[in-house]
Structure 1
């Protein structure tokens, strides 16, 4: 029975996610990741949190799992941790929320951030020192570099089994225990995989290209000066002015491709195949979510390969799951994020999606941390994703996030499920207006469903639905201003919906 339920989850057809009724689905949701070892990596979330998440229109959670919590000692798994995860997954299920399990890491190890256990962390005597921005350690810290080197080299753990093999086996154990939870739809294999020590070559190529262009335009600067400036917030801001030019930005992020491409094509794609094999031993229906290397979050082109089995057959259930962050993310200058750079980064991801021939879910974006200063950035990213018709999970959940202006682009009107093929949609916050167009198929009696954040002023006069004799029903969501609009199918052909809102 459990396998039957599992097959009734989210699937993939023609580069789109689909539900059990064959409708095209947009997955729109949020990240929930607890990185605190003192809490056993379990967030203090309860039913009210998942109720909020549902009322905000989210239908999926990218749900963090920490390897250190799962396998605290080599080959010894923490079943109590898994059961605590299960409890939260089941609370999400009560609110009709799908789950993507995300094996999350930051800077590789729980020793100085989150991810791998201490016994799987080898640094060859290098020490970790935090930078002004936590993620700068990816670029400059030897301990982080060497720890990843040992992971990719599969260095033996104290039990003589390779640490990468342990990671793969841990995935297998986790899936064996949890795959029958009916709302688990897939697995994000590793968060932001990082190349390791070759990052030094990446840095050299990017900063050398940057220094060359900066010197040509503004005056002499050398690579060492740029390295030093990068960890000084004010100087970093001054030097970023060149990268307002998207053509210059493109040259910088493309410079290290000869290093990142082989890593993705061989080392990273091999890990994905290994983990996929062990997942498929227990779950043949879950979607494999594939991330890029860390530098592709900034726009470097990605060359990851689709997962294939030992026979060379392509797995039919996989999706592209990149992240999209501007250079100023996680700094006090986050509100200065550049629209053109963000468009470039996300459109680069779309190019990779087309090459891979699979649906795309942007697994992380935003990181606005309840700020009121980044609302315009949030809405701009929203409109880029609307244009691409892609799925997304925002980084990250906080209970009061709906009180910040940056929540605007996160909570938006969108088509949750479409009977047919979605062609376009857009939600405008200032007017609370919405429009969409879709190519309907009338071979089903299940409705198209649209989430609307505020239904208080929607009347028959404000709704135009073609053909003219179309019907709709709006179902309020409890304890919120939001609602779901259901539109029964009536034709084979193009349909449109326009909701005209009003200024506050």
Structure 2
């Protein structure tokens, strides 16, 4: 059934039953995001939550369009409620020779970012690698061979990614030389090359809308020191080696882009649950922590990263999790992320390049899993207090305070809360009960919009199936 417009404007509790339309969900209202502590925010002072996917094409020529990603795939992601993509590129392709940049390659990454932006999808531009280079046991060459220095040590034993990290002398010697800032063939340190490369890339995105920011390096590996990181983490490596390295990239990017967020990463060992000691490398006020969740058993990954971000006052985003088609596990992880109220980006099994799983085409359905499509508050005009979703009953609940997350920046008077409601969860429409607010979206809207009632301090929302 539908309700009359006069009832939709009522204050206090409102009950709606709405059918879902098939058009793409409305784009977020602002193209540039900031943060207040660990929360992402927009220019209206709202808290923004991202549900996203990774998009990294690991086969030459290393850009998604070459693998088949196009307009229909961006539409597919938007239709399924995804408002973020971690968009990977290969340093190997950006800088094929020391100091020589392939601007045509960078333009391919830019074009994919622009395509995603047309659908209101934020891109986290990501310098991606997995085990450095094929010459030292990687399944693809994210980093260039000219920056790879194994010093004649053997690649074997090499059981394939990711176990090669633990077994290959060439792999670990290469990382050791990278952290020592070994000179490239032109006499310039590899870390200086890396920072300059980042500045060259970032200048192409500096003024573009729907760029979330820059993920400085994917899953940095400690090299020979990795045994000291288990089980208690890598404080000396993260503070004394990794932070200064990422500081170089941050400073270089800030020469060309003062606006977008800079996301740094802790050691790869954090992916498996070791404690996180990674500080904000430069103390940049517009920084974020990009961290991954591949914990096995007790899931400490979420809290480790979130606690670190809160301590340093930086934005927090889980930029990888999944790499499985186990629907029960994915549901448990998504529930855990809801409990912690964190933004996340899924890593699909189809993107793996492991001995038994070569990468599949990076098209929309291959980038996501139906188990992770769920209701969530894309924008909260206030301070989130709790939300959760019961996959069995279809009940979604949200509580938030009307006051803004940043005491020094009130929420805009006309700001509305937006909740994405997927048709897969509500095939026959949905009912909405609101206390402390009013539904202002149109009947049939996939993006439920709520305004806080005057004088109300808290808003409670419950969505159920009819």
Q: TM-score, normalised by structure 2?
A: 0.83
Task: Name the counterpart of 1:152.
Answer: 179
**CA drift at 1:128:** 2.6
Write the distance in 1 (CA, Å) between the matches of 2:158 and 2:224: 18
Task: State whether structure 2 residue 20 is matched by structure 1 residue 52.
Answer: no
Task: Name the counterpart of 2:256.
Answer: 282
SS of 1:170's equivalent?
A: helix
CA RMSD of aligned residues (A): 2.2
Task: Name the counterpart of 2:100.
Answer: 76
Task: State whether structure 2 residue 315 is matched by structure 1 residue 359.
Answer: yes
Q: Render the CA deviation track for 1:267-320: whole Å, top value 9, x for unaligned.
A: 111012111111111111110112110111111111111132xxxxx3111111
Decide whether aligned partners of structure 1 residues 85 and 476 sit closer, same or farther in structure 2, where only a CA change above 3 A counts: farther
**CA drift at 1:44:** 2.1
Write the distance in 1 (CA, Å) between the matches of 2:320 and 2:192: 27
2:388 to 426, 433, 452: 426
Task: Name the counterpart of 2:41.
Answer: 18
1:452 to 416, 421, 425: 421
Task: Name the counterpart of 1:226.
Answer: none
Greater relative CO, 1 or 2 (CA 8 Å, sep 6+): 2
Write the distance in 1 (CA, Å) between the matches of 2:170 and 2:60: 20
**CA drift at 1:14:** 3.5
Write the distance in 1 (CA, Å) between the matches of 2:183 and 2:397: 56
**CA drift at 1:463:** 1.6
- Where does structure 1 lack aligned partners over 5 or more consecutive residues? 1-6, 207-252, 309-313, 328-337, 478-482
- Where does structure 2 lack aligned partners over 5 or more consecutive residues? 1-29, 352-361, 404-410
Write the distance in 2 (CA, Å) between the matches of 1:290 and 1:183: 19
Task: State whether structure 2 residue 222 is matched by structure 1 residue 195.
Answer: yes
SS of 1:376's equivalent?
A: helix
**CA drift at 1:13:** 1.6
Decide whether aligned partners of structure 1 residues 40 and 377 sit closer, same or farther in structure 2, where only a CA change above 3 A counts: closer
Task: State whether structure 2 residue 270 is matched by structure 1 residue 270.
Answer: no
Give the 4+ runs in structure 1 shifted more than 6 A.
none
Task: Name the counterpart of 1:37.
Answer: 60
1:135 to 151, 156, 162: 162
Task: State whether structure 2 residue 318 is matched by structure 1 residue 318.
Answer: no
Partners of 1:29 and 1:59 within 8 A in 2: yes
Partners of 2:132 and 2:143 within 8 A in 1: yes
Write the distance in 2 (CA, Å) between the matches of 1:151 and 1:191: 14
Aligned length: 411
**CA drift at 1:326:** 3.0
Write the distance in 1 (CA, Å) between the matches of 2:149 and 2:316: 34
Write the distance in 2 (CA, Å) between the matches of 1:447 and 1:153: 50
Is the helix fraction higher in 1 or 2? Answer: 1
Write the distance in 2 (CA, Å) between the matches of 1:117 and 1:423: 45
Partners of 1:31 and 1:393 within 8 A in 2: yes
Task: Name the counterpart of 1:417.
Answer: 379
Partners of 2:47 and 2:380 within 8 A in 1: yes
Task: Name the counterpart of 1:85.
Answer: 109
Q: Render the CA deviation track for 1:303-355: whole Å, top value 9, x for unaligned.
A: 111132xxxxx31111111111034xxxxxxxxxx3xx22x232222222232
Write the distance in 2 (CA, Å) between the matches of 1:43 and 1:319: 30
Partners of 1:325 and 1:365 within 8 A in 2: yes
Task: State whether structure 2 residue 308 is matched by structure 1 residue 388.
Answer: no
Task: Name the counterpart of 1:376.
Answer: 328
Q: Render the CA deviation track for 1:149-201: whole Å, top value 9, x for unaligned.
A: 11111111111111111111100111122222212120100000111111255
Q: TM-score, normalised by structure 1?
A: 0.77
Partners of 1:445 and 1:489 within 8 A in 2: no
Q: Render the CA deviation track for 1:380-426: whole Å, top value 9, x for unaligned.
A: 1111111111111111375464899x531x21110000111111111
Write the distance in 2 (CA, Å) between the matches of 1:463 and 1:377: 29
